[in-house]
Amino acid sequence: MPESEYEVELFRAQGFRRAQCASCGKFFWSLGDHATCGETPCQEYDFIGNPPFKKRLTPRAMREDFLSFMEANGHTRVRRYPIVARWREDVFFVQASVYPFQPWVISGEASPPANPLAISQPCVRFVDIDNVGKTGQHFTLFEMMAHHAFNFPGKPIYWKDRTVELCHRFLTERLGLDSKVPRYKESWWEGGGNSGPCLEVVFGGAEAATLVFMQNRDTNGHRVPMETTVVDTGYGLERLVWLSQGTTSAYEAVFGEALAYLKRATGAKKVDDRVLTEYSKVAGMRKVETMADVRAIQTRTAERVGLSADELVAQLGPLEALYVICDHARALMFILGDGVVPSNSREGYFARLLIRRGLRTLRNLNITYTMADTISFLIDQSREDYPELFFNKGDILKLLKVEEQRYKDTVEKGRSTVQRVESEAKAAGGEGIGVDAMIEVYDSHGLTPDVVREFATLKTEVPDDFFSRVAQRHERPAAPEGAKRFDVPQDLPPTRLRVYENRRKQKFRAKVVAVHGSAVVLDQTYFYPEGGGQEADHGTIAGRDVVDVQRVGRTVLHFTKGEPKLELRKPVKCEIDWARRTNLMRNHSGTHIVLGAARKVLGNHVWQTGAHKAEDLARLDITHYDSLSDAETERIEQVANEIVLSDAPVRIRTLARDVAEAKYGFRLYQGGVVPGGELRVVEIPKWDIEACGGTHVARTSEVGTIKILRTKRIQDGVVRLEYAAGKPALEEIRNQSAALAKVASALGVSTDQVVVATDRLVGEWREQRRELEKARAATAGGAVSELVAKAEEVAGVRVVVHRITGTMADLLPLSRHLAENPDVVAVLGAAGETASVVVTRGARARVDSAAALRAATDILGGKGGGRPDFAQGGGPKVEALDTALDAAKREVVSSLSASG
């Protein structure tokens, strides 16, 4: 870039000179006589033990100094945004201070909350997770302090001159940095489809801030000038705190009290400051991407301090573990506090990744201490900065407790899981557990590499960047489903959609402006087109039945039965099926009511992940860590109906996006991303508030009643509630009452005695089943001797192959008796509605039962699993059972012959 692209008024006025770095060759501006650009690896850290600022600052003090300085210089301080970027479809988490303003503010569709503004925004990135704790400077969560200016067309705020002036004055006037120390390195920034020149602010070997001038957007591979240019700055809070304190690592500066607390609680031994200082300096000089880089840092540092690499690692290991725990705990404090439920998908995947990595780190330290202890301490320490996290502390710790127990259960099952993986690896001809298998074991079972190694007998292959790789698998949300596509012309005339103007309008007149096949386009319509999870209105147009309504761009398509013969430009009578619309409104408002009730019963971690509102039924998917108990379901239904009976208003208003967010927060985005600069806000006061485009009742009492029909856990971390509102709910209640009366009649009791009678009947049935099991076991015991005597012998082992008519339950007693013989392998099959297979072996028989079972289930068209000593499964192809048993036997015989 030409020199003029980067020269600003401050440089001219104060006599900055442009120089070229003798090491990397990049150009920079400075008042001092510097030979290099001042950043590693061109210059080693020189601030450790020698901070360049006049005062040592904590994170809180640094944040306040920055924000108050910007306030004093014409900026409005704005609150942090949630760390979960629910207003965007392309990312899960906020990764820079500009993310909250993309895409709607930068596109010009929405206004920023202030202009110019100052913010200190928590961000989270997982790309360097494997380096956290090891390098002295990498964090999963970090705060990006920033001042932003949005220069809309005809409304400039400020650009390069003012940006550099503010930065330089903050460093020199507020922090007391010598004006000759900072260097402004010329660079170019690209990200998120935007680009522009930038100046990297460097001193002491470290980059302290980046000043980006966002002026281009990427269009079909070409840079096109942006209508709105943006001052996008980023000042690393953690980096500036480290520079101000000059400690041996950024972790010591940032985690201060929490780290001291952990050191006391764990009895960690003190490490010589000289060792830590040299380690950070060496680490800063290298690009750290793999464990090989870390090992090189360790070797070089060991040479500097006169230790062996092993001695250095032994000293640093426990301290690095404490750094990891602090970092992960702080990240989880925000992630869980902003409503993420740990799971195996989406945002929840990363929460679980941090929890399990942190717990494993604690386990390796061999101490009785939990992640919850650290997070609890951090929340208490952050009360003044982030009071919302303090008030949500109970919910955060509840989620942690559940995850800690699940991890404990996972580790206890780890041995059998690893054995199964090794069996699969052997069957595939492998000699160890490869990288893909290791990642799959973590993804599917939550077992970290060191847990796998603990239980494995085969060689394990673990890449240095293991956790970065698993994070990359889940880095971005799946692309949203595209809108329904319709085979209609592109130039159809627009429709004035008036459903929001009068939601009570049942009949109206409109002109037909286009007809394409069965689709009718009107000049105006009160029909609701499908959207927001709500099905479309039905009704009639000029007597023709309307069976679907869809919106394509600015056109609304009314699909009729058959091809309507309608004259263009002629007014027609239109009527909405009001019974259907009423049910849809009740179910949609009911969704908001049930969501609010679920949050009140289960906790603030409850967010909507999906919903569908049909005429007779609705469903709501929410984030929750477990299936709902009957008591929880009943309580949600009860609380929901209480708000229905309260006759609360359902208020609807349209607000500017920035106004709505400032007033109501980010619970607005329960239903997902809402485009544009304006939001249609649906509010049930003190209950629920959402940006929503659906049709609703005017008061909650119009919903009538809500009946939850069933709940189920549809995936890890997501529970589905199915329910009805209004007349369909009453019909369901009547059906249940009728069914209860039939059961009572069959049992010969009154309806209020059904539970007692059913319990008695079930008890009798269980007793009969126990007696049947005893009989089966006795019969099996008598048959075992005969089966073993007739069995073929291979390498000193009897191979029993036997088929019966029945189910898996009929096979299990026989298999248990056969397994008691140490020199027997049994391949057993049962033919019923489906085919069942059991493979089991005695203690001295060297056979992999799971491999033999797979040979059978492949033929039966089914699946199964188990351990080397026992496996069970089946499939639908009952007619192939004999062939399947023969295949399993061949696998057994082959294995015995090879081992014999």
User: What pLDDT band is residue 68 in, cutting at 50, 70 and 90?
Assistant: very high
Specify whether the CB–CB gap between 842 and 822 falls below 8 A: yes
**Whether pLDDT at 368 is above 80:** no
Per-residue pLDDT at 503: 82
For 211-235, the DSSP string reads EEEEEEEEETTEEEEEEEEEEEEEE
How is the beta sheet containing 17-20 ordered, strand by strand? 17-20, 27-30, 183-191, 194-203, 206-219, 222-236, 141-151, 117-124, 76-77
Specify whether the CB–CB gap between 522 and 556 falls below 8 A: yes
pLDDT in tens, 98-135: 999 988 898 888 899 999 999 999 999 888 787 788 77
Per-residue pLDDT at 291: 63
Q: Can you tell me the distance from the alpha carbon of 295 to that of 246, in angstroms, rounded to the nearest whole number?
A: 25
Specify whether the CB–CB gap between 47 and 214 falls below 8 A: no
- Nearest Cα to Cα of residue 824 among 833, 834, 832, 814: 814
R_g of the chain computed on alpha carbons: 34
- Least confident segment among 55-59, 122-126, 132-136, 833-837: 132-136
Mean of per-residue pLDDT scores for the chain = 86
- Least confident segment among 4-18, 93-107, 372-386, 408-422: 408-422
For 145-192, the DSSP string reads EEEEEEEBTTB----HHHHHHHHHHIIIIIS---TTS-EEEEEEEEET
Q: Which strand (E) or helix (H) includes residue 71?
A: helix 59-72
Per-residue pLDDT at 651: 94
Q: Can you tell me the distance from the alpha carbon of 262 to that of 469, in angstroms, rounded to the nearest whole number?
A: 29
pLDDT in tens, 200-247: 999 998 899 999 999 998 887 788 998 999 999 999 999 999 999 999
**Whether pLDDT at 49 is above 80:** yes
Q: Can you tell me the distance from the alpha carbon of 98 to that of 201, in angstroms, rounded to the nearest whole number?
A: 18
**Whether pLDDT at 57 is above 90:** yes
pLDDT in tens, 624-661: 988 999 999 999 999 999 999 999 999 999 999 989 98
**Whether pLDDT at 780 is above 80:** no
Q: Can you tell me the distance from the alpha carbon of 863 to that of 757, in angstroms, rounded to the nearest whole number?
A: 39
For the chain, the 3-state helix, strand and coil shares in percent, each to the nearest 5, are: 45, 25, 35
What percent of the chain is predicted at pLDDT more than 70? Answer: 93
Per-residue pLDDT at 775: 64
Q: Which strand (E) or helix (H) includes residue 195?
A: strand 194-203
pLDDT in tens, 671-726: 778 888 889 999 999 999 999 989 999 999 999 999 999 999 888 888 999 999 98
Burial state string for 546-559 with b = 16 or more CB within 10 A and e = fewer than 16: bebbbbbeebbbbb
Per-residue pLDDT at 773: 65
Per-residue pLDDT at 87: 85
**Whether pLDDT at 90 is above 90:** no
Extended strands (E) in 685-834: 688-691, 706-715, 718-725, 792-794, 797-805, 824-831
Tokens representing residue 504 in the block: 């009570």
Q: Can you tell me the distance from the alpha carbon of 825 to that of 403, in angstroms, rounded to the nearest whole number?
A: 40
Q: Can you tell me the distance from the alpha carbon of 891 to that of 900, in angstroms, rounded to the nearest whole number?
A: 14
Q: State the greatest distance between any 2 C-alpha atoms of the chain, in Å, as a whole number.
A: 104
Orientation of helix 808-819 relative to helix 754-790, angle to 10°: 50
Per-residue pLDDT at 199: 95
The sign one gets for the Cα dihedral 284, 285, 288, 293 is negative
For 870-885, the DSSP string reads EEEEEES-GGGHHHHH
Residues 6+ apart with CB under 8 A from 625: 341, 342, 343, 399, 402, 403, 605, 717
**Whether pLDDT at 666 is above 90:** no
Q: Can you tell me the distance from the alpha carbon of 510 to that of 238, in angstroms, rounded to the nearest whole number?
A: 62
Burial state string for 21-39 with b = 16 or more CB within 10 A and e = fewer than 16: beeeebbbbbbeebebbbb
**Whether pLDDT at 900 is above 70:** no
The arithmetic mean of pLDDT across residues 593-616, rounded, is: 92
CA angle 220, 487, 90 (to 5 degrees): 40
- Nearest Cα to Cα of residue 243 among 282, 204, 276: 204
Per-residue pLDDT at 753: 83
- Nearest Cα to Cα of residue 867 among 885, 848, 852: 848
Per-residue pLDDT at 10: 94
User: What pLDDT band is residue 766 in, cutting at 50, 70 and 90?
Assistant: confident
Q: Can you tell me the distance from the alpha carbon of 823 to that of 826, in angstroms, rounded to the nearest whole number?
A: 10
CA 485 to chain CA centroid, nearest Å: 29
Q: Which carries the bigger pLDDT value, residue 426 or residue 361?
A: 361
User: What pLDDT band is residue 475 in, cutting at 50, 70 and 90?
Assistant: low
**Whether pLDDT at 482 is above 60:** no
What percent of the chain is predicted at pLDDT more than 90? Answer: 42
Q: Can you tell me the distance from the alpha carbon of 561 to that of 876, in angstroms, rounded to the nearest whole number?
A: 42
Burial of 487 (0-12, 13-18, 19+ CB in 10 A): exposed
Beta bridge partners of 875: 835
pLDDT in tens, 527-577: 999 988 899 999 999 999 999 999 988 899 999 988 888 888 889 999 999
**Whether pLDDT at 373 is above 80:** yes
User: What pLDDT band is residue 156 in, cutting at 50, 70 and 90?
Assistant: very high
Per-residue pLDDT at 74: 95
Beta bridge partners of 191: 194
**Whether pLDDT at 471 is above 80:** no
User: What pLDDT band is residue 779 in, cutting at 50, 70 and 90?
Assistant: low
Specify whether the CB–CB gap between 71 and 111 falls below 8 A: no
Tokens representing residue 346 in the block: 């989406």
Q: With left for phi above 0 and alpha for psi between -120 and 50, is residue 456 left, alpha or beta?
A: beta
The arithmetic mean of pLDDT across residues 6-28, rounded, is: 93
User: What pLDDT band is residue 598 in, cutting at 50, 70 and 90?
Assistant: very high
Q: Can you tell me the distance from the alpha carbon of 427 to that of 866, in angstroms, rounded to the nearest whole number?
A: 14
Per-residue pLDDT at 259: 85
Q: Can you tell me the distance from the alpha carbon of 29 to that of 16, in angstroms, rounded to the nearest whole number?
A: 6
CA angle 160, 73, 151 (to 5 degrees): 40
Instruction: At 685, give phi and psi (nearest 5°).
Output: -50, 135
Instruction: At 158, give phi and psi (nearest 5°).
Output: -165, 170
**Reported pTM:** 0.78
pLDDT in tens, 716-761: 888 999 999 988 888 888 888 888 888 888 888 888 887 888 888 8
